[in-house]
Amino acid sequence: MPAGPLLGDRRVAANPGPRDWDDDTIEALAERFAVSREVILRRLLILGKTTDEFYEQKRDEYIAQYRMAAARARERGGFAPLPVVTLRDHGRQYTRLVLDALERERITFADVSDYLGVRLKHLDAITGLLERAERRG
């Protein structure tokens, strides 16, 4: 995620120093940039806009939420398909960037597998889901 657009967002620009961020702002930024909440927090940390302590606290909170959601899905007998999980965890922009780099032959299939954490047999489904999500906006 490029630093310029994030730093230029009015919510981030209005807060010059490291700070704690409210959940609504984190979620709004994640939605705007089509990435996960953790990606937003990590980038804010790298850019000096939050503290290590706040990042770790929120990361632990998100992990607990992911685990609870997975446990509920297991109880219901359902699960999220891998393409859905991939887009949720990595965000549309990052996933698109990786797939575009593969198409332009800038990276290998092995790189794609590493970057997205998936086996290559899932790429068609991930690509299809990503394209449908991009058409919806």
Same domain? 20 vs 68: yes
Task: Give yes or no: residues 7 and 70 share one domain.
Answer: yes
Strand stretches in the chain, DSSP E: none
pLDDT value at residue 111: 92
- Domain identity same for 110 and 95: yes
Please check whether residues 27 and 58 belong to one and the same domain: yes
Looking at residue 2, its pLDDT comes to 84
Distance between CA 70 and CA 74 in Å, rounded?
A: 6
Asked if 82 and 118 count as a contact pair (C-beta separation under 8 A), the reply is yes
Q: Which domain holds residue 55?
A: 3-76
pLDDT value at residue 71: 78
Provide the CA 18 distance to its chain's centre, in angstroms. Answer: 21
pLDDT along the chain (137 residues), means of 10: 90 90 93 88 94 94 85 72 89 94 94 91 91 85
Question: Counting Cβ atoms within 10 Å, is residue 135 exposed (0-12), middle (13-18) or buried (19+)?
Answer: exposed
User: What is the reported pLDDT for 77?
Assistant: 64
User: Given CA atoms 23, 69, 85, 51 in this order, what sign does their dihedral have?
Assistant: positive
Q: State pTM to two decimals.
A: 0.56
DSSP annotation of 91? -
